[in-house]
Amino acid sequence: MLVDLHMHSTASDGVLTPAELMARAAAAGIDLLALTDHDCIDGLVEARDAAARHGMRWISGVELSAQWQGHTVHVLGYGFDMQAAGLLEALDAVRDGRWQRAEQIGDRLAAKRMPGALEGALGIQQATGSDPHSPPARPHFADWMVQAGHVRDRAEAFRKWLGAGKLGDIKQHWPTLPDAVQQLRGAGGVAVLAHPWHYGFTRARLRRLLRDFAEAGGRGIEVSNGKQAPEQVAVLAHMGTEFGFLASCGSDFHHPDAPWMALGAMTPLPATCVPLWSDARFAEGVSA
Ligand code: MN
Ligand code: MN
Ligand code: MN
């Protein structure tokens, strides 16, 4: 059975619409999948209906950003109620925060004689087919700055204006790790720590994260993310078993031009892992 529980659509930073993504997943031979857009579940209904047409098992999904000890980590959620008020409110708050951040970047650039940045960045973002409700992010501002002739290229935009410590570097306030887990559990879902190696932590820090995640009610970890080195996957499989986590896997697909992140193409889970889809929520097949 081919399982891919991590992918993005135009509802966040992917380039395929949810329906296009599901068609591509079906062509890749995927049997069970979840769409996991960043802090957004707007693509789920379209994905669910398309997955059903293609005869694939589908479960609700999302990738939440969360704060842990001064770092941003990602928490995948599955099998939640898409109408749960608490989760919808939390997602709205994050979106409002992103809009505020985009407006602040626009104001700050205007004060530096670069007027119209927010509108310009929004135009660039919309041209990619992105959800009209989601605010532009720093790469969109960077592309607008190039287009408007303020900088030569994206790299210069980040070096001078948008990168760490520059005026466009406005911190977003994410929920804490326990709050993110609670938002998912409160909606009847299961929380899974995404790509534990991506944070650049030492093994000791990673263990502290896993311990805190387990204490917060986290149920699993993403043991295999894309075409990760088998040794890294093996270490996570081992650590996950130690903490009693279920094991998940996903491609983290964003766009078709990155063949190293193709749909359904992950390093296989070691046979010792207890797969996430042994959880009852996944047994219900196509669910809302
Ligand atoms: Mn992304
Ligand atoms: Mn992520
Ligand atoms: Mn992702």
pTM above 0.75, yes or no: yes
Q: Which residues surround ligand 2, an ion (CB under 5 A)?
A: 74, 194
Helix (H, G, I), strand (E, B) or coil at 2: coil
Rounded to the nearest angstrom, the distance between the alpha carbon of 10 and the centre of ligand 3 is 13
Q: How many separate domains does the chain show?
A: 2
C-alpha 32/C-alpha 263 separation (Å) is 12
Do 47 and 14 lie in a common domain? yes
Per-residue buried b or exposed e for 145-165, using 16+ beta carbons within 10 Å of the residue's own CB: bbeeebbeebeebbeebbeee
3-state secondary structure of 166: coil
CATH number for 152:
1.10.150.650
Distance 55 CA to ligand 3 centre (A): 24
Instruction: Examine residue 95 and state whether it is found in any structural domain, yes or no.
Output: no
Map residue 270 onto helix, strand or coil: coil
**Ligand 3 center from residue 253 Cα (angstroms):** 7
Give the separation between CA 178 and CA 270, rounded to whole angstroms: 28
Q: Determine, yes or no, domain membership for 171.
A: no
- Residue 168 lies inside a defined structural domain of this protein: no
Neighbours of ion ligand 1 (CB under 5 A): 13
In a domain, 65, yes or no: yes
Q: What distance in angstroms lies between residue 76's CA and the mean position of ligand 2's atoms?
A: 8
The answer on 193 and 112 residing in a single domain is no
16 and 86 both lie in a single domain: yes
Q: Could you list the residue range(s) of the whole structural domain that residue 128 is in?
A: 100-162
Per-residue pLDDT of the chain (288 residues; tens, 9 = 90+): 999 999 999 898 888 999 999 999 999 999 999 999 999 999 999 999 999 999 999 999 999 999 999 999 999 999 999 999 999 999 999 999 989 999 999 999 999 999 999 999 999 988 876 666 778 889 899 999 999 999 999 999 999 999 989 999 988 889 999 999 999 999 999 999 999 999 999 999 999 999 999 999 999 999 999 999 999 999 999 999 999 999 999 999 999 987 777 999 999 999 999 999 999 999 865 444
Give the whole-angstrom CA distance, residue 138 versus residue 134. 13
3-state SS of 168-182 is CCCCCCCCEHHHHHH
Please tell me the number of the ligand nearest to residue 6's CA: 3
